[in-house]
């Protein structure tokens, strides 16, 4: 699982590059633009082909998830903390609103043909909409009882995009939660990240700071697929070995 975070400030040809990334296999794009207002968020999304909307997770203006049939929403750490005891209800209610907002948007602002086109690309129900959140300490992540689709934990390694943001090498082996490692993740650190127990990687500077973002993503994806395959094979062999040993001992 590869999560790509949007560059905080728009870059040249960003929408064109983003379409290339989607076509190259990007499935989780975290739309994080803190300086954009609601209308600017809409203007950005309106530039993206509707067939890619279900690959986008919005960090701000969560109502856009239903309006544009996005993949889901993400809660910044402070937003999650501010919700307190209301967190579980918020997560549940948002999922339920996703379908309602989507249907309302069709009736309110789309022609019949546009509505049908969007509907054709709808691959999940509101119940399957992802809800994720950011964490910066493994202990806080483990103690959180909310059922998030996945969790972003950082910084694993020293950040590429944030100077002075030192990595902490969090080891999450043994957890049953889906945790995505972020911070300093690039082609060279993928193997080390997965060895620490992460179920996926979160990338920002490793792609957007590269001279060729598309080429950088393709290299990262290739390396990730290779390492993931080896890791899966190793786990299966380990499980087979334990089962064989158990059979011998019991015979």
Instruction: Tell me phi and psi for residue 152, to 5 degrees.
Output: -100, 120
Q: What is the pTM of this model?
A: 0.81
pLDDT of residue 97: 56
pLDDT of residue 243: 54
Mind listing the pLDDT tens digit of every residue in the chain (251 residues)? 999 999 999 999 999 999 999 999 999 999 999 999 999 999 999 999 999 999 999 999 999 999 999 999 999 988 898 888 899 888 887 766 555 554 554 454 454 445 445 444 444 444 478 999 999 999 999 999 998 999 999 999 987 766 666 788 999 999 999 999 999 999 999 999 999 999 999 999 999 999 999 999 999 999 999 998 887 655 455 444 555 545 555 55
- Which residues, including other chains, have CB under 8 Å from residue 92's CB and lie 6 or more apart? none
Burial (CB count <10 Å: 0-12, 13-18, 19+), residue 8: middle
End-to-end CA distance of the chain: 41
CA 223 distance to own-chain centroid: 18
- The token pair that represents 127 in the structure block: 């119940």
107 three-state secondary structure = helix
The residues spanned by each domain of the chain are 2-250
Query: Helices marked H in 11-137 — which ranges?
Result: 14-23, 38-46, 64-67, 77-83, 87-109, 112-120
Instruction: Tell me phi and psi for residue 121, to 5 degrees.
Output: -95, 0
Cα–Cα distances in angstroms (integers) from residue 183 to residues 4, 12, 203, 216, in the given order: 12, 24, 7, 16
pLDDT of residue 193: 95
pLDDT of residue 43: 98
Note the CATH number of domain 2-250. 3.20.20.70
């Amino acid at each position: 699982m590869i999560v790509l975070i949007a560059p905080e400030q728009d870059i040249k040809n960003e929408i064109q590059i983003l379409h290339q990334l989607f076509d190259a296999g990007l499935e989780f794009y975290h739309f994080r633009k803190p300086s954009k207002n609601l209308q600017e968020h809409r203007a950005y999304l309106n530039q993206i082909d509707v067939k890619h909307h279900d690959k986008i997770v919005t960090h701000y203006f969560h109502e856009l998830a239903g309006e544009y049939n996005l993949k889901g929403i993400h809660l910044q750490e402070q937003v999650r903390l501010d919700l307190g005891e209301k967190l579980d209800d918020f997560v549940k209610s948002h999922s339920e609103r996703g379908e309602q907002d989507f249907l309302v948007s069709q009736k309110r602002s789309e022609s019949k043909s546009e509505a049908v086109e969007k509907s054709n690309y709808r691959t999940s129900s509101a119940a399957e909409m992802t809800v994720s959140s950011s964490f910066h300490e493994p202990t806080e992540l483990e103690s959180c009882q909310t059922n998030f689709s996945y969790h972003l934990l950082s910084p694993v390694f020293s950040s590429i995009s944030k100077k002075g943001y030192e990595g902490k090498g969090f080891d999450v082996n043994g957890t049953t939660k889906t945790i995505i490692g972020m911070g300093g993740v690039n082609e060279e650190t993928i193997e080390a990240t997965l060895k620490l127990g992460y179920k996926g990687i979160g990338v920002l500077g490793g792609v957007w700071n590269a001279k060729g973002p598309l080429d950088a993503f393709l290299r990262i994806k290739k390396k990730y697929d290779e390492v993931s395959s080896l890791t899966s094979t190793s786990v299966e062999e380990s499980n087979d070995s334990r089962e064989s040993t158990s059979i011998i001992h019991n015979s």
